[in-house]
C-alpha cells in the first residue's frame, strides 16, 4: 500500500482555508437580510403607562418603508386621526384581485379597529364597492381609503388627496407593501 | 405485574378521557366570537378569503374585521370602592308624582320605605333593650325608633318644576319635625316605687335616678311631671383626687371633701391648673351645680352624689359636666331649639335637634306611662332640600338618612333635532336613491339599539324625512332608519312615490293629509321599561307642514311636549323640502318650546339650565342648551325610574371606578388568501369567507363531509349559511364558514356576525349552523339548521 505523505505546510494551508470559509459564512449570516414583519407598537393607558404590543404584518416593514407616499406621512396620519373622523369607508372596485383586496382591507380594518378601541374612538368602518376610482368624495368626518389592486394600477404608492387615501400596488407584494406603508404612517412606525 | 397492568390501563383510560372530553363539547355559534379568541382576547384565528373572491367577500371580510377588532380590546377595570351600608336601603321609592309623595310611596310595584316607624328590625343601630333602675333592681324595656313618614310633616319626595329650590330636580323635602328619633318606654316607670316623695320636677330623685341613653348619649332622668320630665346630661363619671372626669379641653378632679363640701380642681389637657370650684352645703339626695369662670366656654359642673373619708380623702364624686345651662333641663312637648340657655331643648351638641316628652295618654307626677316617648326631632331653621348624594345625620353620628341616587345607573341619551339636507336610499337596494336634499328630524341615541320601530327592531338613529314635492300636491314623507352596515339612511322601497304602511312607513301626502308614527325607546333595546316618541304631522294646502305632535314619555300618555315647527322658508315645493326649528325662533328661547309634566302639571320648561325630571321618569337635559342647539336632549332610564334612599350608616367611601381598553397582541397577520394557507395556518382556528366555489378551504371541508354543500350541489335558493366546524382541519381547532348564494347573501351573513350582540341577532345565533335569509339584518330570518 502506497503511503501518502502530507507536508506540514499543506496542513497549514488547509486549516487557513477552513478558517477563512467559516469566517465568511459567519459574517454573511450576520449581515444576511432578514425580513422585519413584526413591530412592537406602544400605546398608553389612561394613567400614562405605556406598554408595547407586538403587531405582525403580511410583509417586510423595511421594504414597505420604501414605498413612496404623497404628499407626505403627516398628511395620511392627520386624515385618520382627525378628531372629527366618524366613519372610514373602505372603497374598492370589482376586479380579479378581490381576494387580495379582502385580505388587505381586513388588515387595515382590524388593526385600525383594535387601536381605535384602545383610545375609545367610535370611528366606524364601512365597505363600499365602487365602479370607478375617479371622483371619490370625502371629508374630514367621512374619509375614504381606496384600495387599488395590481390588476388596476401600474404603480405602488400611497396617496392622500382631499381626505381620500389611495393605496395601490402593481404586484401582490407591492399591494401588501403599500398597505403596510399606510399602516406604518398611521401608527407612526419607523424602521431603520 | 398486575398492578403495572392496572396502572397502564388507568393511564390509557385517562388519556382517552383527556382527548375525548373536549371533543364532546361542540362549539356553539352563540359563543361567537369568543371561540376565536385566546384567553388574553388576542385573535387566535386566520381569516381566509378565496383567491377568486367576490366583492361581497371583500365587504364581508371588512365586516368581520370590525367585529373582531372590537372583541380584541380587553377592558381593564380600575375598580371603585363602594361603601357598605348597614340599615334599610330601598330603591323603589317614587320620584314624587304629587306634592305629598313620601319615602313610603312606591314607584309602581317597586318597594319603598315601610309606612311604619323604622326600628331595630330595619337598622341594628336602633336598640330594643332594657335598663335596670337602681331604685328597685327591675328591668325597664324600651325601644328606639325613627319616624320619617308619619306626622303632619313627613319627609316628602318632590320634583315640581315651579317650586323654588326644587326646580324640577328630585329632592327630599325635610321640614321641621320631618325626622324624629324616639325612645319609647315599653313598660311603665314609676319613681314612687322607691320613694313616694321624690321623682317630680320640683322634687327630683337624685339618689336613685333612671339612667338612659338617647341617640347613644347618657341622660339621667330625675323627675317626671304630667307634661314634662327633668334630666341631667353631659359628661358623667366619678372623680377623685387622681382620677378626672373630662369634658372638652378640661379635666375635673375631686381634690378634697367633707360631709357637706367638696373642692373640684379644673386643669387643662396638659394638666396645668386652671381654677378651683368650691362646693358647700352639699347633702345626700340633692344636686349642686357651679359654673366655671376661667374656661372657654363656661362649663357647668353638677355633683349628684359623693363620698369622703374623715381625713378629707374623696372616695368619689359623681359629676355631670356640660355647657352652661345644659346639665339639668326640664323638657316638655315643645322641643324648643330657638331659645338659648336653660330654655333651650336642644340636644347636646346638635342645636337643631330638639328634645321633647310625649306621655302616652294623661301623664302623671313621678310616673311615665307605658308607650310614652322621649323624642328628638330635627328642626331646621328653614325647610331643607336634600338632593342625590346628600344626607341628614342624626346627632351623635347615630344614623343617616341619605338620598343615594337613582335605582339605575344606565341611561340612554336621546336627541331629537331638525335634520337635513340628507339623502336616503331604499332598503332592498341600498344604492338606489329614494330621497335627496330631504329635511326633517333625526332621533339618535348614544346607546346603540335604543330606538325601536313599529316592528320591534331597534336602531341607533331614526328619521322622519320630508322630500321635495314630486308634483303639485304630492308631498313625500318617509320614516327612515340608519343602517350601520351601509352607513346610509334607508327608507321604504316605495318612497317617495307610493305609500307604505309598514315599519318603514312612507306616503305621499296630498293637502291636509296626516302622517303619524310612533317610535319606541328602550335602553339598548333591552330596557326593563320603555317609552315612546309619538309624532304627527299634517300637510296643508299651502304646501306647509304643521307639526301636530312630537312628544316623549310613557306610551299613550307622553308628557314631554316639544314645540318643533316649520321654518317660514323655504316653502315645500318641487325644488325644496320643508325645514324645521324648535320654537317660534331658531336658536333663542321661546315659551313652551318644551313642556314637561311634574307632579301632574304640565309646565313651561323653556330655557332651563338644570336637568328636569318628568313624571314619566325621563330626565330632560338643559333646555337652555336645547334652545341654542334647536334640539331636545333627554335621558331615558333602563328601568322604571325610582329613588334610592337608605337609613342607617355606611362605612368607607364610595369612589367611581373606571374602565379603559387594553390592546391585545396581534401576533400574526390575520388575513390570508386561501392559496397562502399551509399546515401551519391550519393549526389555528380559521374563519372562511365565501362558499366552496370561491374558497378552496370551504371546498376541502365539503369534500371531507364537514360542510353541507359542494360547489356543484349548492342549493338554488338565496340564503347565507354560517357554520362552525369543530376539528375542521386540526383537532381542537374550529373552522367558521360564512357563505352565501349571491353577493348580497354573503354580505348578510357577515353582517349578522358583525351585529352578533345586537337585539336583531342576539339569541338567534345558536347551535353549529344557522341559515340567514332576507334583505337587512333588522328584518332577516335567522334559523338554526
Structural domain boundaries of chain A? Answer: 67-186
A135 CB burial (10 A radius; 0-12, 13-18, 19+): exposed
pTM above 0.80, yes or no: no
- What sign has the CA pseudo-torsion B693, B696, B698, B703? positive
CA-CA-CA-CA dihedral for B111, B117, B119, B123, to nearest 10 = 40
Helix, strand, or coil here: B155? Answer: coil
Q: Which of B59, B78, B669 sits opposite A107 (nearest CB)?
A: B669
Question: Which of B 664-703 lie inside 8 A of A, CB atoms?
Answer: 664-674, 689
**Residue B91 C-alpha, separation from nearest chain A C-alpha, in angstroms:** 32
**Residue A37 C-alpha, separation from nearest chain B C-alpha, in angstroms:** 9
Chain B residues with CB under 8 Å of A115 CB are 663
Least confident of A60-74, A153-167, B33-47: B33-47
Asked if A55's CB is within 8 angstroms of B661's CB, the reply is no
d(Cα B404, Cα A149) in Å, to the nearest integer?
60
- With cell 311604619, the residue in question is B116
Question: What are B739's three cell numbers?
Answer: 357563505
Phi, psi of B329 (to 5 degrees): -135, 145
Interface test with A, best of B69, B488, B657, B686 (most A CBs within 10 A): B69
Work out whether strand B734-740 and strand B685-689 pair parallel, antiparallel, or are unpaired.
parallel
pLDDT in tens, A70-85: 999 999 999 998 878 8
Task: Single out the residue of B688, B672, B692 nearest to residue B680, CA to CA.
Answer: B672
Chain A nearest-CA residue for B430: A128
d(Cα B180, Cα B155) in Å, to the nearest integer?
10
Radius of gyration of chain B (CA): 39
Does an H or E element contain B181, and which?
strand B180-185
Strands (E), B186-260: 189-190, 210-214, 217-224, 229-233, 235-239, 245-247, 250-257
b or e along A3-20 (b: 16 or more beta carbons within 10 Å of the residue's beta carbon)?
A: eeeeeeeeeeeeeeeeee
pLDDT in tens, A99-132: 999 999 999 998 888 888 777 777 888 888 888 8
pLDDT, position B497 = 83
Asked if B65's CB is within 8 angstroms of A109's CB, the reply is yes
Task: Supply the DSSP symbol for B301.
Answer: E
* A53: contact with B, CB 8 A cutoff: yes
Chain B nearest-CA residue for A91: B59
pLDDT, position B2 = 44
* B89: contact with A, CB 8 A cutoff: no
Task: Single out the residue of B353, B348, B349, B346 nearest to residue B331, CA to CA.
Answer: B346
Chain A residues with CB under 8 Å of B667 CB are 38, 54, 56
- What sign has the CA pseudo-torsion B218, B222, B226, B228? negative
Asked if B73's CB is within 8 angstroms of A102's CB, the reply is no
Q: Can you tell me the mean pLDDT for A34-46?
A: 73
pLDDT in tens, B735-755: 999 988 877 788 788 888 877
d(Cα B451, Cα B522) in Å, to the nearest integer?
7
Does an H or E element contain B426, and which?
strand B411-426
Asked if A99's CB is within 8 angstroms of B47's CB, the reply is no
Strands (E), B286-327: 288-291, 299-308, 314-323
Residue A161 reports pLDDT greater than 70: yes
CB contacts < 8 A, A to B, total 144
> What's CA B528's distance to the chain center, in Å?
14
Question: Which of B 559-618 lie inside 8 A of A, CB atoms?
Answer: none
Name residues whose C-beta falls within 8 Å of residue A55's C-beta, 6 or more positions apart in sequence. A38, A39, A40, A41, A111, A187, B665, B666
Asked if A94's CB is within 8 angstroms of B53's CB, the reply is no
Q: Which of B54, B487, B658 sits opposite A87 (nearest CB)?
A: B487
CATH 1.10.10 fits B21-74+665-784, yes or no: no
Task: Supply the DSSP symbol for A152.
Answer: G
b or e along A40-69 (b: 16 or more beta carbons within 10 Å of the residue's beta carbon)?
A: ebebeeeeeeeeebebebbbbbebbbebeb
Structural domain boundaries of chain B? Answer: 21-74+665-784, 189-378, 411-639
- With cell 352607513, the residue in question is B487
Low-confidence ranges of chain B (pLDDT < 50): 1-24
Cis peptide bond N-terminal to B297, omega within 30:
yes
pLDDT, position A30 = 60
Name residues whose C-beta falls within 8 Å of residue B673's C-beta, 6 or more positions apart in sequence. A99, A100, A103, B48, B49, B50, B51
Asked if B63's CB is within 8 angstroms of A127's CB, the reply is yes
pLDDT, position B15 = 43
Question: Which of B 361-390 lie inside 8 A of A, CB atoms?
Answer: none
Residue A157 reports pLDDT greater than 80: yes
* B74: contact with A, CB 8 A cutoff: no
Chain A residues with CB under 8 Å of B486 CB are 126
- What sign has the CA pseudo-torsion B547, B553, B559, B563? negative
* A45: contact with B, CB 8 A cutoff: yes
Q: Which of A99, A108, A111 sits opposite B666 (nearest CB)?
A: A111
* A103: contact with B, CB 8 A cutoff: yes
> What's CA B131's distance to the chain center, in Å?
42
Structural contact between residues B607 and B546, judged by C-beta atoms closer than 8 angstroms: no
Task: Supply the DSSP symbol for B474.
Answer: B
Residue B780: which region, alpha, beta or left (left: phi > 0; alpha: psi -120 to 50)?
beta
Total Cβ atoms within 10 A of residue B489? 24
Asked if A53's CB is within 8 angstroms of B66's CB, the reply is no
CA atoms within 13 A on the CB side of B562: 31
Interface test with A, best of B669, B696, B758 (most A CBs within 10 A): B669
* A113: contact with B, CB 8 A cutoff: yes
Helix, strand, or coil here: B407? Answer: coil
pLDDT in tens, A46-55: 555 566 677 8
Work out whether strand B488-491 and strand B411-426 pair parallel, antiparallel, or are unpaired.
parallel
pLDDT, position A134 = 83
Asked if B665's CB is within 8 angstroms of A103's CB, the reply is no
CATH 3.30.379 fits A67-186, yes or no: yes
Question: What are A184's three cell numbers?
Answer: 406604518
d(Cα B196, Cα B205) in Å, to the nearest integer?
10
d(Cα B414, Cα B99) in Å, to the nearest integer?
28
Asked if A126's CB is within 8 angstroms of B663's CB, the reply is no
CA atoms within 13 A on the CB side of B672: 23
Phi, psi of B698 (to 5 degrees): -65, -40
Phi, psi of A28 (to 5 degrees): -65, -45
d(Cα B194, Cα B190) in Å, to the nearest integer?
8
* B45: contact with A, CB 8 A cutoff: no
Q: Which of B60, B670, B674 sits opposite A110 (nearest CB)?
A: B670
Chain A nearest-CA residue for B666: A55
Angle, nearest 10°, between helix axes A73-80 and A172-186?
70
b or e along B394-431 (b: 16 or more beta carbons within 10 Å of the residue's beta carbon)?
A: bbbebbbbbbbebbbeebbebbbbbbbebebbbbeebe
**Residue A59 C-alpha, separation from nearest chain B C-alpha, in angstroms:** 9
Asked if B487's CB is within 8 angstroms of A124's CB, the reply is yes
**Residue B461 C-alpha, separation from nearest chain A C-alpha, in angstroms:** 15
Asked if B672's CB is within 8 angstroms of A114's CB, the reply is no
Task: Single out the residue of B711, B707, B723, B779 nearest to residue B748, CA to CA.
Answer: B779
Cα-based distances in Å from B411 to A146, B81, B161, B166 = 38, 22, 21, 22
Q: DSSP characters for B717-774?
A: S--EEEEEEETSSSTT-EEEEEEESSHHHHHHHHHHHHTTTSTTTTTT--SSEEEEES
CA atoms within 13 A on the CB side of A4: 2
Chain A nearest-CA residue for B49: A99
Amino acid at each position: 500500500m502506497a503511503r501518502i505523505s502530507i507536508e506540514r505546510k499543506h496542513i497549514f494551508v488547509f486549516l487557513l482555508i477552513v478558517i477563512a470559509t467559516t469566517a465568511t459564512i459567519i459574517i454573511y449570516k450576520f449581515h444576511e437580510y432578514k425580513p422585519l414583519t413584526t413591530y412592537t407598537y406602544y400605546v398608553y393607558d389612561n394613567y400614562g403607562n405605556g406598554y408595547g404590543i407586538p403587531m405582525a404584518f403580511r410583509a417586510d416593514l423595511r421594504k414597505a418603508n420604501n414605498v413612496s407616499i404623497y404628499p407626505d406621512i403627516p398628511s395620511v396620519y392627520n386624515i385618520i386621526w382627525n378628531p372629527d373622523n366618524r366613519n372610514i369607508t373602505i372603497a374598492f372596485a370589482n376586479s380579479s384581485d378581490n381576494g387580495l383586496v379582502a385580505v388587505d382591507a381586513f388588515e387595515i380594518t382590524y388593526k385600525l379597529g383594535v387601536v381605535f378601541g384602545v383610545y375609545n374612538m367610535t370611528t366606524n368602518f364601512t365597505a363600499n364597492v365602487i365602479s370607478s376610482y375617479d371622483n371619490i368624495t370625502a371629508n374630514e368626518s367621512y374619509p375614504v381609503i381606496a384600495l387599488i389592486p395590481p390588476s388596476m394600477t401600474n404603480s405602488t404608492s400611497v396617496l392622500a388627496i382631499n381626505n381620500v387615501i389611495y393605496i395601490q400596488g402593481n404586484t401582490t407584494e407591492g399591494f401588501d407593501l403599500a398597505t403596510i406603508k399606510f399602516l406604518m404612517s398611521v401608527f407612526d412606525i419607523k424602521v431603520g | 405485574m398486575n398492578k403495572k397492568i392496572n396502572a397502564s390501563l388507568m393511564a390509557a383510560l385517562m388519556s382517552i378521557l383527556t382527548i375525548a372530553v373536549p371533543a364532546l363539547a361542540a362549539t356553539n355559534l352563540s359563543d361567537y366570537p369568543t371561540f376565536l379568541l385566546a384567553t388574553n382576547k388576542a385573535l387566535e384565528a386566520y381569516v381566509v378569503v378565496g383567491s377568486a373572491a367576490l366583492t361581497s367577500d371583500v365587504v364581508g371580510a371588512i365586516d368581520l374585521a370590525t367585529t373582531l377588532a372590537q372583541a380584541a380590546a380587553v377592558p381593564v377595570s380600575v375598580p371603585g370602592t363602594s361603601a357598605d351600608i348597614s340599615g334599610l336601603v330601598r330603591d323603589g321609592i317614587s320620584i314624587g308624582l304629587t306634592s305629598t309623595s313620601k319615602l313610603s310611596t312606591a314607584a309602581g310595584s317597586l318597594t319603598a320605605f315601610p309606612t311604619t316607624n323604622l326600628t331595630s328590625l330595619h337598622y341594628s343601630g336602633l336598640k330594643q333593650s332594657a335598663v335596670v333602675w337602681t331604685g328597685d333592681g327591675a328591668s325597664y324595656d324600651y325601644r328606639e325608633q325613627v319616624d320619617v313618614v308619619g306626622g303632619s310633616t313627613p319627609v316628602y319626595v318632590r320634583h315640581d318644576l315651579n317650586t323654588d329650590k326644587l326646580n324640577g330636580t328630585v329632592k327630599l323635602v325635610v321640614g321641621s319635625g320631618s325626622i324624629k328619633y324616639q325612645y319609647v318606654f315599653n313598660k311603665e316607670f314609676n319613681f314612687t316605687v322607691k320613694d313616694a316623695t321624690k321623682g317630680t320636677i320640683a322634687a327630683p330623685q337624685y339618689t336613685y335616678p333612671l339612667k338612659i341613653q338617647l341617640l347613644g348619649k347618657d341622660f339621667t332622668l330625675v323627675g317626671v311631671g304630667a307634661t314634662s320630665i327633668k334630666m341631667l346630661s353631659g359628661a358623667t363619671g366619678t372623680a377623685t383626687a387622681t382620677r378626672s372626669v373630662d369634658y372638652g379641653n378640661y379635666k375635673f378632679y375631686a381634690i378634697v371633701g367633707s360631709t357637706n363640701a367638696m373642692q373640684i380642681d379644673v386643669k387643662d389637657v396638659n394638666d396645668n391648673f386652671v381654677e378651683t370650684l368650691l362646693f358647700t352645703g352639699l347633702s345626700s339626695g340633692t344636686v349642686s351645680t357651679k359654673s366655671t369662670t376661667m374656661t372657654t366656654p363656661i362649663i357647668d359642673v353638677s355633683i349628684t352624689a359623693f363620698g369622703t373619708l374623715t381625713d378629707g380623702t374623696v372616695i368619689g364624686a359623681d359629676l355631670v359636666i356640660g355647657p352652661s345651662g345644659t346639665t339639668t333641663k326640664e323638657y316638655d312637648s315643645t322641643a324648643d331649639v330657638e331659645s338659648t340657655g336653660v330654655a333651650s331643648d336642644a340636644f347636646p351638641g346638635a342645636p337643631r335637634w330638639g328634645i321633647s316628652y310625649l306621655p302616652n295618654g294623661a301623664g302623671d307626677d313621678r310616673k311615665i306611662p307605658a308607650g310614652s316617648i322621649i323624642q328628638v326631632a330635627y328642626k331646621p331653621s328653614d325647610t331643607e332640600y336634600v338632593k342625590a348624594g346628600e344626607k341628614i345625620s342624626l346627632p351623635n353620628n347615630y344614623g343617616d338618612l341619605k338620598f343615594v341616587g337613582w335605582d339605575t345607573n344606565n341611561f340612554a341619551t336621546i336627541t331629537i333635532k331638525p335634520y337635513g339636507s340628507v339623502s336616503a336610499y331604499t332598503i332592498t337596494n341600498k344604492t338606489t336613491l329614494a330621497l335627496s336634499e330631504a329635511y326633517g328630524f333625526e332621533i339618535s341615541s348614544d346607546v346603540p339599539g335604543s330606538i325601536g320601530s313599529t316592528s320591534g327592531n331597534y336602531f341607533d338613529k331614526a328619521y322622519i324625512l320630508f322630500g321635495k314635492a314630486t308634483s303639485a300636491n304630492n308631498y313625500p314623507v318617509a320614516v327612515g332608519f340608519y343602517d350601520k352596515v351601509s352607513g346610509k339612511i334607508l327608507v321604504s322601497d316605495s318612497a317617495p312615490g307610493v305609500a307604505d304602511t309598514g315599519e318603514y312607513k312612507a306616503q305621499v301626502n296630498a293637502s291636509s293629509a296626516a302622517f303619524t308614527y310612533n317610535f319606541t325607546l328602550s335602553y339598548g333595546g333591552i330596557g326593563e321599561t320603555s317609552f315612546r316618541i309619538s309624532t304627527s304631522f299634517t300637510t296643508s294646502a299651502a304646501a306647509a307642514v304643521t307639526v301636530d305632535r312630537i312628544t316623549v314619555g310613557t306610551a299613550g300618555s307622553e308628557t314631554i311636549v316639544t314645540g318643533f315647527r316649520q321654518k317660514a322658508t323655504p316653502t315645500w315645493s318641487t325644488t325644496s323640502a320643508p325645514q324645521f326649528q324648535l320654537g317660534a325662533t331658531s336658536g333663542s328661547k321661546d315659551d313652551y318650546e318644551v313642556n314637561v309634566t311634574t307632579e301632574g302639571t304640565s309646565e313651561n320648561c323653556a330655557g332651563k339650565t338644570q336637568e328636569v325630571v318628568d313624571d314619566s321618569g325621563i330626565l330632560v337635559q338643559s333646555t337652555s342648551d336645547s334652545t341654542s342647539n334647536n334640539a331636545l336632549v333627554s335621558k331615558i332610564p333602563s328601568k322604571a325610574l325610582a329613588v334610592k334612599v337608605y337609613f342607617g350608616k355606611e362605612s368607607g367611601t364610595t369612589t367611581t371606578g373606571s374602565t379603559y381598553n387594553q390592546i391585545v397582541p396581534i401576533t400574526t397577520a390575520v388575513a390570508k388568501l386561501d392559496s397562502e394557507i399551509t399546515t401551519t395556518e391550519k393549526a389555528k382556528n380559521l374563519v372562511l369567507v365565501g362558499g366552496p366555489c370561491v374558497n378552496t378551504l370551504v371546498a376541502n371541508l365539503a369534500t371531507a363531509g364537514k360542510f353541507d354543500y359542494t360547489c356543484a350541489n349548492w342549493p338554488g335558493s338565496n340564503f347565507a349559511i354560517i357554520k362552525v366546524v369543530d376539528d375542521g382541519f386540526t383537532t381542537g381547532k374550529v373552522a367558521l364558514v360564512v357563505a352565501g348564494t349571491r353577493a348580497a347573501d354573503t354580505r348578510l351573513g357577515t353582517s349578522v356576525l358583525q351585529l352578533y350582540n345586537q337585539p336583531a341577532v342576539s339569541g338567534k345565533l345558536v347551535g353549529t349552523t344557522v341559515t340567514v335569509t332576507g334583505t337587512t339584518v333588522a328584518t332577516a330570518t335567522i334559523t338554526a339548521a
